[in-house]
Structure 1
Amino acid sequence: MISTPLLRAMRKASLAATTALMIGAAVAPSFVTPALAQGPESVANLAEGLLGAVVNISTSQTVKGSGGGEDENAVPMPQLPEGSPFQDFFDEFFKKNREGQDNGGSQKVQSLGSGFVVDAEKGIVVTNNHVIADADEIEVNFSDGSKLKAELVGTDTKTDIAVLKVDPKAKKLTAVKFGDSDKMRIGDWVMAIGNPFGLGGTVTVGIISARNRDINSGPYDDFIQTDAAINRGNSGGPLFNMEGQVIGINTAIISPSGGSIGIGFSIPAEIAVGVVNQLAEFGETRRGWLGVRIQPVTDDIAESLGMATAKGALIAGIIKGGPVDKGQILPGDVVIKFDGRDVVEMRDLPRVVAESPVGKAVDVVIVRKGVEQTVKVTLGRLEDGEKLAEGEAAKPEEDADKGAEVAAASVLGMTIGELNADTRAKFGIAAEVSGAVVTAVAKDSAAAERGIVAGEVITEIAQESVSTPKEVMDRIAALKEQGRKNALLMLASKTGELRFVTIRMD
């Protein structure tokens, strides 16, 4: 028989337990993890349907000269533990890979990469440019063991993309489609298929680790970062979403050893699709071109321009004969929006311009002397613009009129002189450059900190032209009276290339 005190204690314990269960039931849903928190249950079905479209790219190149170094694209011998059961396999593979040196000193160098079929009817295959660069022969190897010779349709070094073509009548091909890389989020599952170390179709799975990565490999860097294992030989292979769509082209890794450490980079489909379509249709790219030189908007520059925040791309120069050479956009303008797309950082502008069709009329939102305004611009073609820019840079320098007297002034750690025949000759300044020349820079001065050197020419201060030492002095004095902390200077090099710097005036 249970005593009354004990019964009461049991009832209290039961009530406490019931309350705890109710609280737990109420709280539990907030801690429930998604069904795929530990990864997809299996990607076997997905991989099975995609392996046929992913190919191995084998290239060969004859390198003349004895004792030459190995091709940087050639697959390196992996470092294996002593006594590894794979040692014999790799020894045999890499022995074959490096055969071909003749008695005359020429060597046939082979390299391996990956690719994928995007058009089965036309036989279009996509890979990286660096996989097939300088190749004498290109061969596409399929997962069923068949092989086809490939011809090079076109390449783009700026995005490291190449398009190949095989004979679609020689084999029934399987193709994959590009997906929307913009919809991919950090943490989404992805799958890579490629040819690491020449091993053939290899499937790895991981997640998107980061987006919009700039690794300084080209002007349009906007990589997807993934921890899916990517090694040498995976270059040019596809990165799939869990729907089997290509959302990236695997192209680079960061690794001290040459093997995967979980930091791989893929060209997003958003960038790749336009390049692939243009290469397939024209054999070359046809990018939009604005005809400007740009630099970042720093906090100091933003303050000097009266901008609340540092954003956009600062126009440092206009290319003569370019789309905006008639004054639509001027040096010192800041582009904050292009064709409806925000320009947050300097690197955003080249990419959105390049993705725009040649000849398209677009609205460009700029900040000019603190005032936001919209200008209409018709885009040129980048490939034509590059030739124009090269010709402009190659123009010979001419002598200016002689006989002017040199007047000097000292300001912000700089000695400023008149730009005349004597100073042009002394510093080798081109005839088309105008302004006030910097003849000396004091050590440890504000100007020296900003990298200003003797021979550069001050053309504008706070977006107003200057041509004499006195005008430089007057502009600096006026800015100080306005309470400005920094002076924005537009400087020209001896050849006329422009850049902006800010100098502290306190």
Structure 2
Amino acid sequence: MQRPRWRSCAVVAVALVATLILPVCGGGGGSVVTRTLDQTRVEVLPGNVGGRGFQAQTIYAREAPGVVTVISVFGHQAAELLLGSGGAAAVGSGFVVSAQGEIVTNAHVVAAGQGSGLQRARQVFVQFADRNQVPATIVGTDPNADVALLRINPAGLTLRPLPLGDSDAVAVGEPVAAIGSPFDEPGSLSIGVISGLHRTIDSLTQGFSIEGAIQTDAAINHGNSGGPLVDANGRVIGINAQIRSSSGGGEGVGFAIPVNQVKHSIDQLRAHGRVAYAYLGVSSSEVYPQLAQRFHLGVDHGAWVQRVDPGAARNAGVHAGSGNVAFETGMYAVGGDVIIAVNARPIQRASDLSRALAAYQPGQTVAIDVQRGLRRLTLQVTLGARPAQGVSP
């Protein structure tokens, strides 16, 4: 059986035609992929979808004007592509977050590569529903969360910012809608439900993942990257980012960056043009009752420390495990601390740890509660900074 693959959802084209990238073009005659219809395609489910008053047509009419197509030119200027000299471009989605011209999208829509090899696009354009294209400036990118903040000149434009919701308040089974430009078909709507929470997906960094991703069965395909996932009230609860696929297309499993993480990113990008992450310096495994019983952990939840790197956690006395013991389908280093709280915020699962640390800045001191055998200890930890992985201009 072919192993499923994680795929980001930006459409990439080689030698992109001028109508897709030049802000002076209006009608959209060319395309990254074959376009048979130059009109909005909307999937409509009448009545109450999901039994919670989910009105797809109402949500689309209200929020779609704030959703845009993001076109990034790599390697060549747009004018050079017009002359047919080659090059590549990525087409994704985005949405307006302020009347001052701020647009949010995925970092992988406007930057190529991974880790220290990330390269920003040379030019970025934002295309509205009427096919009007305007140049955009990259304010900053957050490779750790796969978020980018763009800015356009709002003069003469009617911008429709989308309201941001609370991703911590969502539940499995809630109806959602994804709006974006799959396969460069702007203004496309797909509908589904939240099919899972607390997922872990790839970031653009080396060694760090994105925790707490929202899983949905709403169709997400190449080109949906950076577009909003909205709830029944039309509030953004996530940025559509990835699909898991064995064939290369959407197969009912898509993932969105939770909007609360996005808020954290854009606040820092506005202020500093980059995002700093506090760093504890541990790797951990999730505790569940059978694991706790087998290894006498003393608690049936939390983040069981497997490895401690030099730095913050080691300096504070956090204990790592040792050895390599098999249990059920996993291999574990035993004897390490179980982290159960950060500044009194409970840690139920391993992914909660990175989410708790996201509220703090490097250099701040936090109280880490750990279970060490039969003892419960509180350690004062001065947080370090997550290793930087810059984006080249």
Q: TM-score, normalised by structure 1?
A: 0.56
For residues 324 and 255 of structure 1, what CA distance do their matches in structure 2 show?
A: 37
For residues 310 and 340 of structure 1, what CA distance do their matches in structure 2 show?
A: 15
Matched residue, 2:308:
317
Matched residue, 1:22:
none
Q: Is structure 2 residue 260 aligned with structure 1 residue 270?
A: yes
How far off its partner does 1:214 sit?
2.0
How far off its partner does 1:60 sit?
1.5
Matched residue, 1:116:
95
Q: Is structure 2 residue 198 aligned with structure 1 residue 212?
A: yes
How far off its partner does 1:272 sit?
1.3
Matched residue, 2:324:
none
For each residue in 1:126-157, what CA deviation from the matched residue of structure 2 results, as whole angstroms up to 9, or x when unmatched? 10111111321100001132221011111111
Letter in 2 for 1:350: S
For each residue in 1:75-111, what CA deviation from the matched residue of structure 2 results, as whole angstroms up to 9, or x when unmatched? xxxxxxxxxxxxxxxxxxxxxxx97643xxxx22122
For residues 48 and 274 of structure 2, what CA distance do their matches in structure 1 show?
A: 45
Q: Is structure 2 residue 346 aligned with structure 1 residue 374?
A: no
Matched residue, 1:51:
64
**1:59-458 maps to which residues of 2 (within 5 A)?**
59-62=72-75, 101-102=84-85, 107-121=86-100, 123-133=101-111, 134-217=120-203, 218-290=208-280, 292-296=281-285, 303-304=294-295, 306-307=297-298, 309=300, 311-314=302-305, 316-319=307-310, 322-331=311-320, 332-383=336-387
Q: Secondary structure at the match of 1:222?
A: strand
For residues 249 and 225 of structure 2, what CA distance do their matches in structure 1 show?
A: 13
Matched residue, 1:20:
none
For each residue in 1:378-404, what CA deviation from the matched residue of structure 2 results, as whole angstroms up to 9, or x when unmatched? 3333247x89xxxxxxxxxxxxxxxxx
Residues 335 and 302 of structure 1: CA distance in aligned 2, closer, same or farther (over 3 Å): farther
Q: Relative contact order: is structure 1 or structure 2 higher (C-alpha 8 Å, sep ≥ 6)?
A: 2
Contact 1:61 / 1:108 at 8 angstroms: preserved in 2?
yes
Letter in 2 for 1:232: H
Contact 1:231 / 1:258 at 8 angstroms: preserved in 2?
no
Matched residue, 1:83:
none
Q: Secondary structure at the match of 1:262?
A: coil
Q: Secondary structure at the match of 2:211?
A: coil
For residues 237 and 125 of structure 1, what CA distance do their matches in structure 2 show?
A: 10
How far off its partner does 1:297 sit?
6.0
For each residue in 1:33-78, what CA deviation from the matched residue of structure 2 results, as whole angstroms up to 9, or x when unmatched? x9655685742222112122111001122379xxxxxxxxxxxxxx
- Where does the alignment leave 5 or more consecutive residues of structure 1 unmatched? 1-33, 65-97, 388-506
User: How many residues are treated as equivalent by the alignment?
Assistant: 312
How far off its partner does 1:325 sit?
4.8
For residues 284 and 59 of structure 1, what CA distance do their matches in structure 2 show?
A: 20
Q: Secondary structure at the match of 1:281?
A: helix
Letter in 1 for 2:123: E
Residues 297 and 172 of structure 1: CA distance in aligned 2, closer, same or farther (over 3 Å): closer
Q: Whose radius of gyration is greater, 1 or 2? A: 1
For each residue in 1:251-286, what CA deviation from the matched residue of structure 2 results, as whole angstroms up to 9, or x when unmatched? 011233433322111111121110121112211112
For residues 58 and 310 of structure 1, what CA distance do their matches in structure 2 show?
A: 44
Contact 1:358 / 1:379 at 8 angstroms: preserved in 2?
yes
Matched residue, 2:21:
none
How far off its partner does 1:309 sit?
3.5
Contact 1:54 / 1:116 at 8 angstroms: preserved in 2?
yes
Identical columns (%): 32
For each residue in 1:379-430, what CA deviation from the matched residue of structure 2 results, as whole angstroms up to 9, or x when unmatched? 333247x89xxxxxxxxxxxxxxxxxxxxxxxxxxxxxxxxxxxxxxxxxxx
Residues 296 and 108 of structure 1: CA distance in aligned 2, closer, same or farther (over 3 Å): same
Contact 2:299 / 2:371 at 8 angstroms: preserved in 1?
no
- Where does the alignment leave 5 or more consecutive residues of structure 2 unmatched? 1-46, 112-119, 321-335
Q: Secondary structure at the match of 1:52?
A: helix
For residues 249 and 281 of structure 1, what CA distance do their matches in structure 2 show?
A: 21
Contact 1:238 / 1:248 at 8 angstroms: preserved in 2?
yes
Q: Which moved more, 1:35-44 or 1:370-379?
A: 35-44
For residues 73 and 286 of structure 2, what CA distance do their matches in structure 1 show?
A: 46
For residues 363 and 279 of structure 2, what CA distance do their matches in structure 1 show?
A: 9
Residues 327 and 47 of structure 1: CA distance in aligned 2, closer, same or farther (over 3 Å): closer
Residues 308 and 174 of structure 1: CA distance in aligned 2, closer, same or farther (over 3 Å): closer
For residues 102 and 54 of structure 2, what CA distance do their matches in structure 1 show?
A: 33
Residues 181 and 327 of structure 1: CA distance in aligned 2, closer, same or farther (over 3 Å): closer
Give the strand-richer structure, 1 or 2. 2
For each residue in 1:331-375, what CA deviation from the matched residue of structure 2 results, as whole angstroms up to 9, or x when unmatched? 433212112222233333233213323343322101234311112
Contact 1:313 / 1:343 at 8 angstroms: preserved in 2?
no
How far off its partner does 1:235 sit?
0.4
For residues 329 and 173 of structure 1, what CA distance do their matches in structure 2 show?
A: 50
Letter in 1 for 2:353: L
Residues 100 and 261 of structure 1: CA distance in aligned 2, closer, same or farther (over 3 Å): farther
Q: Secondary structure at the match of 2:377?
A: strand
For residues 156 and 371 of structure 2, what CA distance do their matches in structure 1 show?
A: 58
Give the helix-richer structure, 1 or 2. 1
Residues 335 and 39 of structure 1: CA distance in aligned 2, closer, same or farther (over 3 Å): closer
